Structure 1
């Protein structure tokens, strides 16, 4: 057994067993998902969603370092801003400095260094040991960072700051970042300020600027600025100065002492605000240890210790808490740091992307951090107020890119039906959703998809409104159509709650438009009926359901094929079952996703498909089988994610399966799976909790649900509602066993559009 208890006796844990999971941060592996395409950021993030993400930037041939980090290669700087778990192309890697040995004669040179040993890290702390003998230790706050350098005895320490430093991309897709210019000034007391301006990246943003303010704990023996033009670097040898322009520029600082600390604050508003952030968050006497302790306290209090399990298995603890940690690295809370407009509303940036996260990340975000989640929803609505559209993705204060639908609509709907209110102006929220549903966004002429906007909104809306489907004149026509349908269902949900019957009926009808792409004559592997492209004259275009071409921006389907997208109308499953041919055919089609190797656990469009067995009476056990298979693909190690983290989407997928539930976004429905642990408690806030208890099971060998009690009452449904276990807390008591049991004979999960 994984647990040291058998049942409700979990309440009587021994002190030794309880102590093992008191501090969740002790069990976090910050390097989870940093290999194998997970792209997780392992550096210092001092609190959930902190603006500063301080860590190394690594170069290794022409390999994109999406989070700045690569396990092999040379470190060429330590910068203050990164993303985590993103694809497409790297973003940020700005406000960087690099420790260097000896007298610097050419500040524009490449000072990169191999590592003498693998990097080390834990929550709130990061360490790199360079081949030249320099050790770098990092800690941070939300808006400032602390670099602690140890140079070899007898060496001549220097620090080089290059304002042009930015993470490159080598994919050749036009998504690489560019440095536009900057400024750098050194003052008489040795501190410096400046700014850098950058553009492009995956969201194709125009120029944006970050300001910085840096101070050392010892006065430099020598400090000067430099400007590089082509292969020529001009240095100001006279000490203090100010340089600015679009050339590569920065500063060089030399010191006598081989132990050195560097403090840096950043701001999107001004150098004065950057200095204020630094002085208020990291004072001259603040120690590295204090910052580490503060970071661990924040993470434990705000996220990690809200989920408790009873186990002595260290691998389970590490997997659970590493996944929780990875889920809350981005977006970035930049409240008070918005350069675009003045507002008293919260402001969150670095949304990568709702296409990835709306399926299971945002619903768990709400449960673990309800206060921050309300702020997040308010921020989305405030972005609409000032930028005309809510984002599907956003970074550097700029919307972009939309991969499918306007999935902020799904996020707002999910929050609304689960009772998120607080200070949210839901009238404005619905108006923001209606903008997505009714207003065609201006075309930003994205070279990868020039047919319509990839910046925001629904670019293919003209066809959606005219035909009720999307023709091939728009890229990603089929996958956008099924997402537009779920977006419109979100509007139906909110309109219903706001007592707007006409609007509710309009969007309910539109949420069924996915059916207009259904070609009953399309066949594949013994099945008929798939979502396929459709011409303006109403004719279906021949399409092999297993073939999506390049499955990318210019194709009819984005990142998956018709087998997967045909199962994605999760608000209309009863109708989907009818079209497929009933329960038996529905189960066979789900089976074939796995038997034919179509399902990809690392790809978001298929996230919900493995659990749709719950829509057939007595077949819930198959969802559990699929869940256990998916769970086996995860681990707490460097290659522990089955795909790109996608800003925590992959981690939240696993966490829901550990709980033993699956959220149906935009609805109050949770499909029942089987929990991993004999006891798990989730703190829901306001003195409420969810307790998940199981007996008779073992995660890898005995995991089939034999019976279930919800809040003490026998349960025969393969689903529960928000009101059952989350609104006021609740209990789920499972009996697990070795063999499948058709216990789920009760009412089927809701299918509200059917």
Structure 2
């Protein structure tokens, strides 16, 4: 099949008809973006946005965790149908695997891995691996099934090994590794096989969960043997039939044909459903190219065409734009009708990894570009609460966990509500789910990394939050959780206000200000006074160096960032924050210090909005543009190492996409801070015939990015912010004049700080 490698992409010139409806945007996508340098993205086949099947290679390289299955170097030891993308902590999934093997297979439990003969090749809907032993593997998929096409060397004996115990390992020693608990496989006279595997643990510490599979071959199977054993010691290896138990087990299929096509369906419900998924989506005789074409069409129609760029665009920026969109919409997984825990007419999304990462800017762009799926996602969060008791902050293998900070589904629901998401969302239930987070202490799951309270769901530190209005060091991550609980309670205030629940509105607005109770005005650092610090039950502050967060991890007072950053994270209460910081000039200098002292880390989500808080001071918007270009945007590219940190399920990609658009969202509010667009013309399809058209004249992305003037919907604009109603609710226009001179054009009303006041 014809393929366009990335080196050819880099030589393309920008198309002048990029806005045309029939443009193949997949030519700009590098599936390997963010797969190295800690980005952990999945480069394999994802047939459509949020597809349940994510088919790709599993690679082993010493004791390096392969979070998405893929590593750029190392031996391939299987090709499995389930993966996460851009996650950290520990690998998840990597189950339902096949491995091609040449010649006799004396022990299928032995190491059958192979080096690669050349670098893997990928485009949207297609993946190719060339193994050192001469086998070529090509992959394509549908939403619930995968297609493997193997080409073996001539005059060899082809085998396909199905190892039910195959699962991605972790070597970090943190207790987050996955385990295989048992399984079964049955082979049939027509050559097909069915079975299931049971697995547990992983980063979310889930109990046993099951997945079912159904595999069929297009070529005749000459012999089939089932096997079972412990470690690499075989206890049985013989004719086909059924084998089951807690030992490692599987089957070896041997063929006479050198080219073999394998089709495999999966389900979380049953083998019957797995076979039905396979036959419905990849029937016999389906050509690999047909699936590739279908995948390209789905991604073009559903995602890539939602952002159309006019003439004059830089080609590298186009590659970054569309490659980022792929990373953003790979997970969560749409498992509607594949929920084994309860039956419901509601949509069901799993593999939420995690709202702690994505609520800051990902879910707001999800809403803009995919409003139908976004509404389904909101309904799914609420339905999980109905049946499991709490909404997830993270969820995979149909199990909530782990909570890193607050109950950030509250922020996601609030963001959707204030921006007018209604449809089939039951907002009374939505608010009840949020109130559960705010009032019900979740049972402690005794996580070894944070045994003080639940990391499974909800707000484990609620006892202190309700009793004191702050969180004592009796709870891990006390300060960062307090800041997040404040934003969570602000989310409840927003929805309560809209639903006319006056008592709740006032209660949660008051509670949203409790981050202030951690503010120690006597904590000093580098010319600044006042930082959020730990506080004891007697009311006294714990001495704290604002430049230190200890280990910045589960057992510390701050999670993944330090007091400087968390002291700027009360995003609903910036007016108060400015006063506590000493006024406008000190506030600007405080943001500057994040960069002067090299505190800012573009790969850490708590820092995401910090560079753009200059917009809360008149005449300083240009500084936000400067930071956007010089301290964030220049860290990204469409290459394999093109992310400044872990993708975190597309959070990192959403971050750069908003900057390319020239806006940045304030989650849980209708406010968008104005930055500076990257392209001469961008048209965002908002659905229902509505568009947002953004143009720039007179500037250059790199040398002349500063806003000289702006018109919004044809009217001269002097505010450093716009609202959802201004440009998204009914569409709109934003026309920028850019230049090389820093301009204090933003003389109008400041962005709202809705919790600031008493």
Q: Same fold (TM over 0.5)?
A: yes
8 A contact 1:21–1:308 mirrored in 2: no
SS at match of 2:47: coil
Give the equivalent residue in structure 1 for 2:278: 278
Which aligned pairs between 1:116-127 and structure 2 lie closer than 5 A? Answer: 116-127=117-128
8 A contact 1:124–1:296 mirrored in 2: yes
- Give, in angstroms, the shift of residue 315 of structure 1: 1.1
Mapped partners of 1:409, 1:355: distance in 2: 11
- Give, in angstroms, the shift of residue 228 of structure 1: 1.0
- Give, in angstroms, the shift of residue 19 of structure 1: 6.0
Give the equivalent residue in structure 2 for 1:6: none
Mapped partners of 2:226, 2:608: distance in 1: 52
Give the equivalent residue in structure 2 for 1:689: 691
Mapped partners of 2:665, 2:21: distance in 1: 30
Mapped partners of 2:269, 2:237: distance in 1: 28
SS at match of 1:336: coil
8 A contact 1:706–1:743 mirrored in 2: yes
SS at match of 2:78: strand
8 A contact 1:85–1:645 mirrored in 2: yes
CA offsets per residue over residues 669-699 of structure 1, 9 Å max, x none?
Answer: 0000000011000000000000000100100
Give the equivalent residue in structure 2 for 1:714: 716
Query: Normalised by the size of structure 2, how large is the TM-score?
Result: 0.97
8 A contact 1:48–1:328 mirrored in 2: yes
8 A contact 1:269–1:338 mirrored in 2: yes
CA offsets per residue over residues 454-498 of structure 1, 9 Å max, x none?
Answer: 000000000000000000000000000000000000000000000
Match of 2:637 among 635, 660, 664: 635
SS at match of 1:415: helix
- 1:526 equivalent in alignment to 2:527: yes
- Give, in angstroms, the shift of residue 21 of structure 1: 8.8
Mapped partners of 2:147, 2:582: distance in 1: 62
Give the equivalent residue in structure 1 for 2:104: 103
Give the equivalent residue in structure 1 for 2:268: 268
Mapped partners of 1:482, 1:106: distance in 2: 55
- 1:646 equivalent in alignment to 2:623: no
Give the equivalent residue in structure 2 for 1:225: 226
CA offsets per residue over residues 110-149 of structure 1, 9 Å max, x none?
Answer: 1100000000000000000000000000000000000000
SS at match of 1:221: strand
Give the equivalent residue in structure 1 for 2:10: none
Give the equivalent residue in structure 2 for 1:579: 580
Mapped partners of 1:374, 1:19: distance in 2: 28
Mapped partners of 1:119, 1:235: distance in 2: 35
SS at match of 1:237: strand
Match of 2:728 among 695, 710, 726: 726
CA offsets per residue over residues 505-536 of structure 1, 9 Å max, x none?
Answer: 00000000000000000000010000000000
Mapped partners of 1:699, 1:170: distance in 2: 43
Give the equivalent residue in structure 1 for 2:7: none
1:16–1:455 Cα change, 3 Å? closer
Give the equivalent residue in structure 2 for 1:541: 542
8 A contact 1:32–1:639 mirrored in 2: yes
- Give, in angstroms, the shift of residue 230 of structure 1: 4.0
8 A contact 1:413–1:493 mirrored in 2: yes
Give the equivalent residue in structure 2 for 1:301: 301
- 1:678 equivalent in alignment to 2:642: no
Mapped partners of 2:407, 2:550: distance in 1: 24
Mapped partners of 1:101, 1:257: distance in 2: 12
- Give, in angstroms, the shift of residue 235 of structure 1: 3.9
CA offsets per residue over residues 277-303 of structure 1, 9 Å max, x none?
Answer: 000000111100000000010001000
- Give, in angstroms, the shift of residue 368 of structure 1: 0.5
Which aligned pairs between 1:319-718 and structure 2 lie closer than 5 A? Answer: 319-629=320-630, 630-718=632-720
Mapped partners of 2:351, 2:16: distance in 1: 41
CA offsets per residue over residues 565-590 of structure 1, 9 Å max, x none?
Answer: 00000000000000000000000000
Mapped partners of 1:55, 1:750: distance in 2: 46
- Give, in angstroms, the shift of residue 107 of structure 1: 1.3
- Give, in angstroms, the shift of residue 312 of structure 1: 4.8
Mapped partners of 2:19, 2:523: distance in 1: 56
8 A contact 1:224–1:235 mirrored in 2: no
8 A contact 2:110–2:232 mirrored in 1: no
CA offsets per residue over residues 331-359 of structure 1, 9 Å max, x none?
Answer: 00000000000101000000010100000
8 A contact 1:678–1:694 mirrored in 2: yes
Mapped partners of 1:107, 1:358: distance in 2: 44
- Give, in angstroms, the shift of residue 20 of structure 1: 11
SS at match of 1:35: coil
Give the equivalent residue in structure 2 for 1:259: 259
1:231–1:128 Cα change, 3 Å? closer
Mapped partners of 1:219, 1:94: distance in 2: 25
1:529–1:182 Cα change, 3 Å? same
- Give, in angstroms, the shift of residue 229 of structure 1: 2.6
8 A contact 1:221–1:256 mirrored in 2: yes
Give the equivalent residue in structure 1 for 2:746: 744
Give the equivalent residue in structure 1 for 2:136: 135
- Give, in angstroms, the shift of residue 233 of structure 1: 1.0
SS at match of 1:528: strand
Mapped partners of 1:408, 1:609: distance in 2: 21
- Give, in angstroms, the shift of residue 314 of structure 1: 2.2
Unaligned stretches of 5+ in structure 2? 1-13
8 A contact 1:44–1:140 mirrored in 2: yes
Which aligned pairs between 1:40-119 and structure 2 lie closer than 5 A? Answer: 40-119=41-120
Mapped partners of 2:679, 2:475: distance in 1: 47
Give the equivalent residue in structure 2 for 1:249: 249
1:16–1:361 Cα change, 3 Å? closer
8 A contact 1:54–1:80 mirrored in 2: yes
Aligned length: 741
Mapped partners of 2:695, 2:485: distance in 1: 38
Q: List structure 1 runs of 4+ shifted beyond 4 angstroms.
A: 13-21
- Give, in angstroms, the shift of residue 236 of structure 1: 4.2
Mapped partners of 2:490, 2:135: distance in 1: 57
Which aligned pairs between 1:134-153 and structure 2 lie closer than 5 A? Answer: 134-153=135-154
Mapped partners of 1:505, 1:18: distance in 2: 48
CA offsets per residue over residues 561-616 of structure 1, 9 Å max, x none?
Answer: 00000000000000000000000000000000001100000000010110000000
- Give, in angstroms, the shift of residue 232 of structure 1: 2.3
Mapped partners of 1:167, 1:369: distance in 2: 31
SS at match of 2:238: coil
SS at match of 2:221: coil
8 A contact 1:263–1:278 mirrored in 2: yes
CA offsets per residue over residues 26-59 of structure 1, 9 Å max, x none?
Answer: 1100000001000000000000000000000000
8 A contact 1:704–1:739 mirrored in 2: yes
Mapped partners of 2:356, 2:545: distance in 1: 25
Mapped partners of 2:27, 2:42: distance in 1: 18
SS at match of 2:702: coil
CA offsets per residue over residues 308-337 of structure 1, 9 Å max, x none?
Answer: 112353212111100011100000000000
